[in-house]
Amino acid sequence: MNRIKIKIGALIRKLIVKYYRFLGVVIGNNVFISHACKIDTTYPGSVFIEDNVYITYGAIIIAHDHSVYRHRPFIQDNGRGKVVIKKNAFIGAGAIILRDVTIGENSVVAAGSVVTADVPTNSIVAGNPAKILKFFSPKGTSK
């Protein structure tokens, strides 16, 4: 029974990736997206996910912010941005990634973090707003 559940779960995750690709999200190879993850479908072409990315339960990726209409004239900021998640990144459960953010290669976004600025390569971020906790060397390399 467990094997059946595992196979069904894997199939559902593959379908989710195909669904987001169909909508226009750019998704690389070997990407894991949890069934409870939400990716901006208002501007799906503004979300780029590279190879070997792991996005866990409840993560939210948003490439737009229409609250700017209340604070600035439309000419200065139309509320659209883009989100880029580089290779081998890990997005923890319940993390929120806002517009105009790039998550660097091999980086980890801790569970529940709110990412409002770029995350450097080979780093771990956590908190609201997310702050860098640590830099590390990826496996197989030395600094």
Q: With the C-alpha atoms ordered 89, 100, 127, 39, is the resulting torsion angle positive or negative?
A: negative
Distances (CA, A) of 121 to 50, 105, 115: 14, 5, 14
Distance CA 63, CA 110 (A): 20
Closest by Cα among 136, 124, 129, 90 to 113: 129
Type of residue found at 37 = C
Task: Specify whether 66 is catalytic.
Answer: yes
- Residue of 35, 64, 66, 71 marked active site: 66
Which two three-digit tokens encode residue 14?
A: 């593959």
**Which residues are catalytically annotated?**
66
